[in-house]
Amino acid sequence: MKGMLPTKPKVLPKQALVPPENLVAPPTLVTHRVKAKTPFRYQATSAGKPDGHLAAGTRVAVETEQSGRCCVVDERGLRVAVAASALEKL
C-alpha cells in the first residue's frame, strides 16, 4: 500500500519459547493467589536467572509443594515453580 512501510520481522530468542511440558490443561479449581510479582522457573531444580514472573493476583492451582517451592498451574495452563511463601490460600 502506498504510504505504508513494511515491518521488519523479529525472531525471538530460543529462551522466549515455553517448553511444551510446561503447557497443560488449565485447572478446574484454583486454590491460591500470588501475593506480589513473583519470579518463576520452568524447572523447580534450575538455578540462576528466573524464566519469567507471575503478576500479583494471578490465581493458581498448587500441584506439589516441596522444600519451600510449589509447582503451580495458572488459569492459562502454564505450569511453573514458585516460592511457597509467594502464595496465599483463597
pLDDT surpasses 90 at 13: no
pTM over 0.75: yes
Domain boundaries, the chain: 20-89
Confidence at 61, pLDDT banded by 50, 70, 90: very high
Q: Which fold has domain 20-89?
A: SH3 type barrels. (2.30.30)
d(CA 33, CA 21): 23
Q: Which amino acid belongs to residue 59?
A: R
Give the residue among 27, 20, 3, 58 at the shortest CA–CA distance from 82. 58
